[in-house]
């Protein structure tokens, strides 16, 4: 906003009146602040009276007193008025700066609230763009992020010249230069550390005015903060992608040991997701549930191939003892991965039964973590509907009937009811 120009602002005069009044009285003078038009005709003024113009305050005063001191008093009043004027201007400037900082902080807090609900960079881009549009009253706009690919986000695209805005977004990043074009469009670079350009923010016409310097200041502050958030979000997504690629490799290693169950973990993830949605899980809960479902059988990596590739329906007691160890083996394998700490109980308990007759620890009911109870239903449903060497797969109706018959003993009744009700409405392709 900058420091106000004297000619463009009328300064408050209360303080001026008090200080000049006290000084004039101490020198034996009488001072009167004149209304508009008063004192213009000097012929009407009393003897030993002078009118002084105080331009900074848009004020005129009448000064009456000893003639021999009039010039000195006149100079003192003008100098003191100038000092008070500078002080008032500084106070106004500081007030405006405080208001500007408050507006910027409010804007950043608003954007932070919106970003709190964002789960990926596309959602973050939208939150930032919506905040910028609201901050300056623009009709709409776009945000472009450039790395190995271009990522675009639009808000109110139908209300702006989208081709023009897209062109400005590209030109801004290519020319490394901000634009305020025809006072109708505003394009700002998004930079991160060392000045690296990661994209641009472009806004269409303002609804009721032109872009001012205050708008550019606010948008520049927002853009600097947004750049850091978007870049950190991108880096986080890259790390998350690498993490899930590693998880996928682990699942493929399990599948490779037992080709007959290939795709089992992915289907268990899908069925678990259905139940999680039915329980109104938020996106983060669903992501954790799906991760637990994908990894529920990772402990089978530690089982001998002769058990996993067994072509008989029944295993020996010694073989069963080894099978019962796979939840704990899975927990042991994953226990050193900090990102997976919260889902370890689900992996360790997915073979526990609601009646307490499961393994490895024989816990029951709601003592079994909810994720584990969900995965138990999904796991058993997929196991029943897979073809095995020693039996044909169950039909959908038969598998659902089996779940229902074991509701309350093997499975949580609420989850069975929810799964059966939901799966009947869902088009699924059973393992062939």
Check residue 390 and give its pLDDT: 55
Distance CA 1, CA 215 (A): 9
Distance CA 218, CA 107 (A): 8
Check residue 432 and give its pLDDT: 47
Q: Order of strands, edge to edge, in the sheet holding 49-54?
A: 30-33, 59-64, 49-54
Check residue 40 and give its pLDDT: 56
**Mutual angle of helices 370-384 and 413-423, in 10-degree steps:** 50
Closest of 112, 119, 121 to residue 233, by C-alpha: 121
Residues 6+ apart with CB under 8 A from 319: 307, 310
Check residue 141 and give its pLDDT: 92
Give per-residue pLDDT as tens, 178-203: 888 766 888 988 887 667 888 899 99
Distance CA 30, CA 66 (A): 10
Check residue 193 and give its pLDDT: 65
Check residue 346 and give its pLDDT: 96
Check residue 148 and give its pLDDT: 65
Check residue 206 and give its pLDDT: 84
Check residue 101 and give its pLDDT: 59
Check residue 108 and give its pLDDT: 61
Give every residue of the chain whose pLDDT is below 70, as ranges: 1-10, 35-46, 94-119, 148, 182-183, 193-194, 232-245, 255-261, 304-315, 388-391, 427-432
Would you report the helix, strand and coil content of the chain in percent, each value rounded to 5? 60, 10, 30
Question: What domains, with CATH codes, occur in the chain?
Answer: 6-99 (no CATH), 117-235 (3.30.450.40), 258-423 (1.10.3210.10)
Check residue 406 and give its pLDDT: 95
Query: Are the C-beta atoms of 11 and 93 separated by less than 8 Å?
Result: no
């Amino acid at each position: 906003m900058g420091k106000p120009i004297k000619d463009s602002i009328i300064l408050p005069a209360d303080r001026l009146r008090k200080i000049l009044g006290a000084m004039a009285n101490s020198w034996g003078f009488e001072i009167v602040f004149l209304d508009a038009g008063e004192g213009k005709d000097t012929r009407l003024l009393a003897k030993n009276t002078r009118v002084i113009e105080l331009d900074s305050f848009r004020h005129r005063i009448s000064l009456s007193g000893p003639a021999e001191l009039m010039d000195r008093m006149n100079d003192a009043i003008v100098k003191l008025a100038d000092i008070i004027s500078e002080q008032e201007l500084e106070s106004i400037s500081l007030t405006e700066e405080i208001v500007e900082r408050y507006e910027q902080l409010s804007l950043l807090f608003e954007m932070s609230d919106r970003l709190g609900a964002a789960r990926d960079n596309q959602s973050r881009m939208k939150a930032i763009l919506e905040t910028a549009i609201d901050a300056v009253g623009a009709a709409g706009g776009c945000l472009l992020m450039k790395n190995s690919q271009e990522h675009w986000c639009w808000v109110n695209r139908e209300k702006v010249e989208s081709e023009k805005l897209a062109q400005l977004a590209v030109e801004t990043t290519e020319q490394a230069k901000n634009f305020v074009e025809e006072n109708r469009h505003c394009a700002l670079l998004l930079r991160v550390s060392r000045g690296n350009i990661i994209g641009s923010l472009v806004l269409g016409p303002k609804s009721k005015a032109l872009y001012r310097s205050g708008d550019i200041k606010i948008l520049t502050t927002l853009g600097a903060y947004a750049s850091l958030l978007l870049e950190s979000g991108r880096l986080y997504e890259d790390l998350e992608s690498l993490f899930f690629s590693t998880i996928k490799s682990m699942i493929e290693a399990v599948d490779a040991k037992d080709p007959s169950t290939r795709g089992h973990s992915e289907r268990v993830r899908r069925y678990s997701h259905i139940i999680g949605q039915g329980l109104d899980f938020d996106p983060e809960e669903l992501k954790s549930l799906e991760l637990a479902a994908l990894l529920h059988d990772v402990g089978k990596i530690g089982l001998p191939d002769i058990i996993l590739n067994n072509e008989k329906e029944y295993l020996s007691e010694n073989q069963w003892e080894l099978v019962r160890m796979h939840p704990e083996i899975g927990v042991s394998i994953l226990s050193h991965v900090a990102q997976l700490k919260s889902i370890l109980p689900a992996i360790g308990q997915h073979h526990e039964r609601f009646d307490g007759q499961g393994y490895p620890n024989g816990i029951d009911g709601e003592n079994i973590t909810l994720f584990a109870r969900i995965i138990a239903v999904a796991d058993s449903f997929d196991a029943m509907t897979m073809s095995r060497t020693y039996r044909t797969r169950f039909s959908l109706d038969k598998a659902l009937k089996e779940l229902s018959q074991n509701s309350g003993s093997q499975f949580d009744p609420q989850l069975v009811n929810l799964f059966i009700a939901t799966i009947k409405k869902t088009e699924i392709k059973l393992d062939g």
